[in-house]
C-alpha cells in the first residue's frame, strides 16, 4: 500500500512542476503572438489576447514601401547560406588534411585551431571594426560573410576531423590501390561517408550567423543592409514601445520557421554539440 501512495504523490508533484514549466515556457510565446495581433501600435491598456485581433502588422511588414523587413530577411538568408557553403567547403578540406596526412606543421596547426576556437571571434571586435574601416569593407555583406566563415573554421574543423578519424583508413587505401588520387579519395570516398557530420556543420554554420547580433551590429551601417537581428533591434530600440506590435509580428515571423527547422533537425544539434564537447 505504502509504495503505491508514495508513487501517486511523486507523480502528482511531477505534474505540478511540469505544468508550471509549460506555463513559463509558453506564456512569453503566447504573449508575443497576442501582441502581434493587437490593432494598436503600442500595448498600453490591452489584454493578452485582443478581442479585435488583426493581421495588419503582418501586412505592413510585407509591404516593401513601409518596411525593410523583407529586405532584412533576404539579407540574412543570403549571408547565412553563403557562409554555410563556403565554411563547409573549407572545413571539409582542412579537416581531411588534418585527418589523413602527417605533414610538417600539422601538430602546430592543430594546436592553433584548438586555441582559436576558444576565443570568440567577436572578442577582437575593435580590430574587426578598424580593419573593415580601412579596407572599405564596412557596411558590406562580404565583410560579415568573411568574418563568420573565418570564425567558423576552427571549431567545425575539429568536429569534422573527429568524425573523419572514425572512417577507416583502409577504405582510402583500397581506393588508392585502384589508382585513385588524393583528390579523388577525398571527393568520392571520404566526403560521401562524412554526410552526417557535413549536415551538422552546415546547420551550425547556418544558424550561427543567423543568431549573431554583435558582429552585424558593428559592421552594418545602413538600414537596407541590416540583418534580421540588427533590424529587429533597431525596430524597437529607438522608440521602445511605440512600434511594439509591429516588432511582435516581426518576431513571430522569425521564430516560427526557425523553430520548425530546428525541431525537425534537433537530433543533429545534440549529436554535433556532444561530439564537439567531448572530442574537443
Partner 1 sequence: MGEQGNKPSTNKRKIALALSIIPGFGQFYNKQWLKGLIFLVLTGSFFVAFSDLLQFGFWGLVTLGSDPAYDHSIVLLVEGILTVLITILGLGIYVLNLNDAFKVGKQRDLNEHPNSIRQQYQNLVGGGFPYLMMTPGFLLLIFVVIFPILFVILLAFTNYDLYHSPPANLVEWVGFQNFIEIFQIPIWRNTFFSVLAWTIIWTFGATTLQVALGIFLAVLMNQKGIVLQKTIRTIFILPWAVPAFVSILVFAGMFNETFGTINEDIMAIFGLGDIPWLTNPTYTKIALIMIQTWLGFPFIFAMVTGVLQSIPNELYEAAEVDGATIMQKFKGITLPLVLYATAPILITQYTFNFNNFNVIFLFNGGGPAVPDQNAGGTDILISWIYSLTMTSAQYGKAAAITMILSLIVITVALWQFRRTKSFQEEDMM
Which 145-204 positions form the footprint of partner 1 (CB under 8 A)? Answer: 146-147, 149-151, 153-154, 157, 162, 165, 182-183, 186
The reply to whether 101 sits near partner 1 by the rule CB under 8 A is yes
Cα–Cα distance for residue pair 28/135, rounded to 1 Å: 43
Q: Which stretch binds partner 1 (CB under 8 A): 16-24, 67-75, 77-85, 172-180?
A: 16-24
The reply to whether 44 sits near partner 1 by the rule CB under 8 A is yes
10: its cell numbers: 511523486
The reply to whether 258 sits near partner 1 by the rule CB under 8 A is yes
Q: Which stretch binds partner 1 (CB under 8 A): 13-21, 55-63, 64-72, 198-206?
A: 13-21
Among 118, 136, 170, 222, binds partner 1 (CB under 8 A): 118
What is the rounded radius of gyration, in angstroms, for the C-alpha atoms of the chain? 24
The DSSP letter of residue 120 is -
192: its cell numbers: 560521401
Q: Which stretch binds partner 1 (CB under 8 A): 57-65, 67-75, 143-151, 191-199?
A: 143-151
Q: Please say which residue, 64 or 256, places its beta carbon nearer to partner 1.
A: 256
Q: Please say which residue, 43 or 199, places its beta carbon nearer to partner 1.
A: 43
- φ/ψ of residue 243, rounded to 5: -120, 30
Q: Please say which residue, 44 or 65, places its beta carbon nearer to partner 1.
A: 44
Question: Count residues contacting partner 1 (CB under 8 A)?
Answer: 98
The neighbour count for residue 30, using CB atoms within 10 Å, is: 12
Cα–Cα distance for residue pair 280/263, rounded to 1 Å: 25
Beta-strand ranges (E) seen in 7-133 are none
Q: Which residues contact 82 (CB under 8 A, 6 or more apart)?
A: 145
The reply to whether 263 sits near partner 1 by the rule CB under 8 A is yes
Cα–Cα distance for residue pair 238/247, rounded to 1 Å: 12
Q: Please say which residue, 65 or 102, places its beta carbon nearer to partner 1.
A: 102
Amino acid at each position: 500500500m505504502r509504495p503505491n501512495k508514495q508513487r501517486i504523490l511523486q507523480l502528482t508533484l511531477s505534474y505540478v512542476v511540469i505544468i508550471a514549466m509549460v506555463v513559463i515556457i509558453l506564456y512569453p510565446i503566447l504573449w508575443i503572438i497576442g501582441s502581434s495581433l493587437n490593432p494598436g501600435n503600442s500595448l498600453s491598456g490591452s489584454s493578452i489576447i485582443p478581442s479585435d485581433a488583426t493581421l495588419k502588422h503582418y501586412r505592413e511588414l510585407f509591404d516593401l514601401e513601409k518596411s525593410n523587413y523583407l529586405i532584412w530577411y533576404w539579407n540574412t538568408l543570403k549571408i547565412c547560406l553563403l557562409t554555410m557553403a563556403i565554411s563547409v567547403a573549407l572545413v571539409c578540406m582542412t579537416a581531411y588534411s588534418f585527418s589523413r596526412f602527417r605533414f610538417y606543421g600539422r601538430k602546430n596547426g592543430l594546436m592553433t585551431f584548438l586555441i582559436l576556437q576558444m576565443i570568440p571571434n567577436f572578442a577582437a571586435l575593435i580590430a574587426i571594426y578598424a580593419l573593415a574601416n580601412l579596407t572599405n569593407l564596412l557596411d558590406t555583406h562580404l565583410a560579415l560573410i568573411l568574418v563568420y566563415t573565418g570564425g567558423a573554421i576552427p571549431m567545425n574543423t575539429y568536429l569534422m576531423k573527429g568524425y573523419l578519424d572514425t572512417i577507416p583508413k583502409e577504405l582510402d587505401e583500397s581506393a588508392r590501390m585502384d589508382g585513385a588520387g588524393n583528390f579523388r579519395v577525398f571527393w568520392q570516398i571520404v566526403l560521401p561517408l562524412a554526410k552526417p557530420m557535413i549536415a551538422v556543420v552546415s546547420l551550425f554554420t547556418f544558424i550561427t550567423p543567423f543568431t549573431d547580433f554583435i558582429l552585424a551590429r558593428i559592421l552594418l551601417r545602413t538600414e537596407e543592409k541590416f540583418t534580421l537581428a540588427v533590424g529587429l533591434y533597431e525596430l524597437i530600440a529607438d522608440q521602445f514601445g511605440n512600434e511594439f506590435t509591429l516588432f511582435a509580428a516581426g518576431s513571430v515571423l522569425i521564430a516560427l520557421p526557425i523553430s520548425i527547422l530546428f525541431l525537425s533537425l534537433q537530433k543533429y544539434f545534440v549529436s554535433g554539440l556532444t561530439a564537439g564537447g567531448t572530442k574537443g
